[in-house]
């Protein structure tokens, strides 16, 4: 037998960690690349949800005993509960302080990116 259980587990774990890292980097690139505050928040969503989940699943597969495994699971669940709350708090504060989102106007089937007012509050 060439593969024992530990080898297989660490192999699967490595795959999960790799995917998670790629998603984290994607989220970071998204924050830099997207045009305004609200769209950037969607990029953060990637890092918050699937990237964190993938990395934690990768770590769970490497965990030495069940106590560590359960702690990692709790971290995963708590992360998934906290992130939407934080995102919502950010978005609500932004819109209530008058930062208007950049939206696409439908103009005879031709899409024009319309930059709305609120540019000054973008900097503050």
Partner 1 sequence: MRHTLSLFLTLTAFWGLMSGHNSILMLLLGAVSITCVLYIAHRMDVVDHESQPIHLSLKIFGYFLWLFKELVIANMAVVKSIWLGNASISPVLVTIKSSQVTDVGKVIYANSITMTPGTVTVDLVGDRLTVHALFQHNVEVLNTGEMDRRVCHLESKC
Report d(CA 16, CA 18) in Å as an integer.
Answer: 5
Closest CA to 122 of 12, 55, 51, 39: 39
Q: Given the rule CB under 8 A, which of 4-12, 55-63, 88-96 is the region that contacts partner 1?
A: 88-96
Counting contacts by CB under 8 A, is residue 30 touching partner 1? yes
Residues from 63 through 82 that contact partner 1 (CB under 8 A): 67, 70-71, 74, 80
* Part in contact with partner 1 (CB under 8 A); list of ranges 5-13, 46-54, 56-64: 46-54
Long-range CB contact pairs, 83-92, < 8 A, 24+: 83/45, 83/48, 83/49, 87/41, 87/44, 87/45, 87/48, 90/41, 91/38, 91/41
Interface residue with partner 1 among 21, 45, 63, 75 (CB under 8 A) is: 45
* Residue 61 contacts residue 17 (beta carbons within 8 Å): no
Contact pick of 46, 60, 61, 72 for partner 1 (by CB under 8 A): 46
Please tell me whether residue 35 binds partner 1 under the rule CB under 8 A: yes
Interface with partner 1, residue 95, by CB under 8 A:
yes
Q: Which is nearer to partner 1, 15 or 74 (CB)?
A: 74
């Amino acid at each position: 037998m060439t593969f024992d259980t530990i080898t297989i587990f660490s192999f699967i774990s490595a795959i999960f960690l790799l995917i998670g890292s790629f998603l984290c980097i994607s989220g970071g690139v998204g924050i830099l690349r997207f045009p305004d505050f609200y769209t950037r928040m969607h990029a953060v969503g990637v890092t918050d949800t699937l990237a964190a989940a993938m990395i934690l699943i990768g770590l769970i597969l490497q965990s030495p005993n069940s106590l560590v495994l359960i702690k990692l699971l709790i971290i995963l669940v708590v992360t998934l509960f906290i992130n939407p709350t934080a995102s919502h708090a950010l978005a609500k504060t932004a819109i209530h302080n008058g930062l208007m989102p950049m939206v696409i106007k439908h103009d005879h089937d031709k899409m024009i990116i319309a930059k709305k007012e609120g540019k000054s509050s973008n900097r503050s």
